[in-house]
Amino acid sequence: MTPATPPPAPLLIGCAAGFSGDRIDAAGPVVQELIRQHQPAVLIFETLAERTLALAQLARRSNPEAGFEPLMPEFLRPVLADCLQHGIRIVSNFGAANPPAAARAIQCLAQELGIRTPRIAVVHGDDLSAPAHRPLLTAALAERMPAHELVSANAYIGAQPIAAALQAGAEIVVCGRVSDPSLVVGPVMAHYGWAWDDWDRLGRATMVGHLLECGTQVTGGYFADPGYKDVPGMDRLGYPIAEVDAEGHCTLFKPQGTGGCITTATVKEQLLYEIHDPAQYLTPDVVADISAAEVIAVGPDRVRLQGVQGHARPETLKVNVCYATGWFAEAEISYAGPRAAERARLAGQTIQQRLGHIAPLRTDLIGVTSVWGDDRSRWLEGADLQQASQDVRLRMAWQHADHAAALRLPREVNALYCCGPAGGGGVRTHMRQRLGLTSCYIAQQHIPTGFTWAAPLTTTELSHA
C-alpha cells in the first residue's frame, strides 16, 4: 500500500510594503522572521494605488527604462541575497507601468551585490493602453470615453499568472496592475494546488491578501489614536506575516522585537478597509464573503481569521483609465502675529481679484481652516477671523489645461512678498500634471494574461550594472 502524501507545510507570507513610498527598512525583520520559522515562505511588496500607475506611465514616457516603483532597488537591496539563499520567493506589483524594466533593474541589482541572477517571471496582460485596445475601451466606456489624451489603461488582473510562474520555478514574480489580494492568492494557489473554482478557499486566501496588502495598517499603523487606541513602538512598526493553512484560514503575527500590535481590533479595521459589501468583496479571482468570518485572538500579537466563504468570480475585470486633464498648481505663504488671519485673507483676496476670472481658486488658511474648506472657498466669505490663530499659512491652488496659465498662480503668490499684505514670508510653490480617472468593466475572456521569463542582460546592460 502506497503511503499517503503528507500535506504541505503551512505557507508563510510576509508583507514588506503597503504602498509606494513605504518604509525601506521594513523587509529586513520580516525576512529574518521567515528564515527563523523554517517554513515555506513568500515575501510580497504591494506598491500600487489608482493613480500611482498613471504617474508611472508618465515616468516611462520620459525614460523608457523607468516606470516601475522608484524605491524598488532600496526595498530589495537589504534582503535579496537572503531571500535567494533561503528559498523565500518574492511577488510584487512593483513593476507598475514597466515590469520588464523592473526585472532588468533586479538583475542589475543582483550583479551589483555579487550574487547569482534570480529566475524572474514578468506578468503581462493588465496594460490596455496600446492603440489595439482602444476599440475595447471605447465600447466599454461609451460616452465616458475621455476626449483628452489617454495616459494609462490597466485592468485589475488576477492571480493565475502569478501561480503559474511560481509553479514553473520563478524566484521573483514582477507584476503590474494585479489585484492587491492576488499577490497572496497566487502564492497560496501555487503552494496548495487548489482548483480555481474552490471558491471558499479562494475567498479565504483573498482575505489573507486583503489583511496584508496595506502593510502596517494591520499592525497598528493608521490605527493609533493616543488614549483611545494606543499602539506601542510606532517608530519601529512590525510588518505583518500570515501563516496560511491547508483550508485557507490564517494566523497573523509580526517579527520578534518589532513595534506595533496585532489585536482583534487592528485586524477587524483592516478586514473592513475599502469593503463596500461584507458579503460581496469583488476581486478577479473570487467574490469573498466575510459575513460569517471570525476574528480570534490566539496569543500575544497573534490573531486568527477563519470562516471566510467564497463565491464564483465576476465575469468582468475592472479597468482604470487615466487621462491628462491639464496642470495643477499650488502655492503657500505664511503670516504670523496680530491679525495674521486677516492679512492672509487679504492676500488671498488679492490673488482672487487678479486671477479669479481665469479659473476657480481654492483658498485655505492653514491654522484656521484647511481640511473642512470647500474647493471654491465659500467658507471664507464673511468669516469672523478676529479670534483666529496668529500663526497662519495661506495656501492657494487651481488647475488649468494650459501650462503657462497654470503657472500664473505660483508667480502671483511669489509676488506677494512685496505686493501683498505686511509680513508675508516663506513662499513655497509646486506644479504637476493632473490626471483624470474613469473606470469600466471588460469581460475577462477579452483580457488574456500570462508571464514570460526575464531575458538575460545584454553586454551593454551588464556593463552599466
Residue 92 has pLDDT above 80, yes or no: yes
Res 228 pLDDT > 80:
yes
H/E stretch holding 414 reads helix 408-419
Domain ranges within the chain, ordered by starting residue: 11-129+152-314+444-453
Check residue 1 and give its pLDDT. 61
Q: What would the mean pLDDT of 29-36 be, rounded to a whole number?
A: 98
pLDDT higher than threshold 70 for residue 345: yes
95-109 pLDDT tens trace: 999 999 999 999 999
- Percent of the residues in the chain that have a pLDDT greater than 70, as a whole number: 98
Residue 88 grid coordinates:
523565500
Does 212 score more than 90 pLDDT?
A: yes
Average pLDDT estimate for 377-389: 83
The Cα–Cα gap between 451 and 41 comes to 21
231-245, 338-352, 447-461: least confident range: 447-461
Distances (CA, A) of 138 to 96, 188, 318, 326: 23, 36, 14, 22
For 60-70, what is each residue's pLDDT tens digit?
Answer: 988 999 999 99
What is the per-residue pLDDT for 2? 66
Structure confidence at residue 463 as a pLDDT band (50, 70, 90)? low
- Which has more pLDDT, 344 or 148? 344
Tell me which DSSP letter residue 379 carries.
G
pLDDT for position 462: 65
Give the tens place of pLDDT for each residue, 275-299.
999 999 999 999 999 999 999 999 9
Question: The pTM is what?
Answer: 0.93
CA dihedral 237, 231, 44, 72 (to 10 degrees): -50
Question: In this predicted structure, what is the pLDDT of residue 379?
Answer: 82
